[in-house]
Amino acid sequence: MNLMEKLMALFNFRAKAQGPAAPVAQIESFLKGFSIEVMPRTAEKVEDFRAILPQGTRVYIAHIEGTPIEDMVATAKRLCDEGFPVMPHFPARIIKDKAMLTDWVSRYKDVGVRQGLMLAGGVAQPAGEFATSMQLLESGAFDGFDRLHVAGHPEGNKDIDPDGSDRMVMEAARWKSAFAERTDARMAMTTQFCFDAAPVIDWVNRLQAEGVKLPVHIGVAGPAKLQTLIKFAIACGVGPSLRVLQKRAMDVTKLLLPYEPTDVIAALAAHKAAHPDFGIEQVHFFPLGGIKTNAEWVTANGGASGKPARAA
């Protein structure tokens, strides 16, 4: 037996020692209606999204600072033409004024977009009059959109709460929930990616205790190399669950293997099955290791049809 075979044997033994996996039906149900995120440059690498994603999968388009709106709209048009509901990002701090926002919304509407994700954006200084997603929501620019999602932060956000608390983040969540109740907007909270179920469960329960009624679309990192995930996690400010990756990096039996979100998905799926009123509504994937790789993982775990593939 060579070294790799020994490592794999040890890994399989330890995996069995940790106990049985969550029932397949729970994971399939939890993955029902999942969404995924792309950027214009990553979308270009996919010949046909219909070949890898279930019909009706919501596709978010991340708007990174410096990306021309023409590239965003072209990607949105292509996805709409292929039959997917498209949700582009609207980062408040890179939108100079109401005229620019109105222009963007008009361009998207022209190619069939009726959904948008409102977020502050990872820019320190606003380019103009908008600094928060709440200002975007109040602008009135999104009349005619079917859905308006907002960002969520299960592990806090130091840009919003520099003191390490979640006081401002929670206050904003309550405001957004109240906005949804006083308008006819269909809303949900799409979160940053996490690697550990425990802080996510605590946070979702906390939202409900605080009276936040927005359904949660929980962010999960798709399969990727461990070093890639650690890089993104540090850059995006992922907090407590980063320890999951650090612990994995210290385990030689896992260091050589690509990360897969099986554990966090299984734990959240089991919790949702045991608590049907738990606030997570859908899973949103960040395909940090590639769109096709992420789609193949979902397919292998029962999400290919967007609904449970088989009975328990």
The crossing angle, in degrees rounded to 10, of helices 98-110 and 69-81 is 30
- pLDDT category, 193, cuts 50, 70, 90? confident
- Residue 75 tokens, joined: 């990607």
Residue 131 has pLDDT above 60, yes or no: yes
What Å distances lie between residue 108 and 63, 64, 130, 185, CA to CA? Answer: 13, 17, 19, 18
100-114, 216-230, 279-293: least confident range: 216-230
Give mean pLDDT, residues 50-69: 96
Q: What is residue 282's three-state secondary structure?
A: strand
Residue 18 has pLDDT above 70, yes or no: no
Give mean pLDDT, residues 216-233: 80
How many angstroms separate the CA atoms of 210 and 66, rounded? Answer: 37
| pLDDT score of 308 | 34
CA-wise closest residue to 97 among 62, 149, 125, 135: 135
Partnered with residue 284 across adjacent β-strands are 35, 219
User: Cα-flanking dihedrals φ and ψ of residue 9, to 5°?
Assistant: -65, -40
Query: Distance of alpha carbon 228 from its chain centroid, rounded?
Result: 17
**In degrees, to the nearest 5, what angle opens at C-alpha 150 toward C-alphas 182 and 88?**
120
| pLDDT score of 175 | 96
**Tens digits of per-residue pLDDT, 41-55?**
999 999 999 999 999
Give mean pLDDT, residues 21-26: 78
CA dihedral sign of residues 168, 169, 171, 172: positive
Q: Are 284 and 37 in contact (CB under 8 A)?
A: yes
% of the chain at pLDDT higher than 70: 77
CA-wise closest residue to 112 among 150, 139, 74, 149: 74
**In degrees, to the nearest 5, what angle opens at C-alpha 233 toward C-alphas 133 and 265?**
90
Give mean pLDDT, residues 127-139: 96
Report the predicted TM-score, pTM, of the whole model to 2 decimal places. Answer: 0.84
| pLDDT score of 282 | 96
CA dihedral sign of residues 47, 53, 55, 57: negative
**Tens digits of per-residue pLDDT, 151-169?**
998 875 556 655 655 777 8
Report the CATH architecture of 3-297: Alpha-Beta Barrel (3.20)
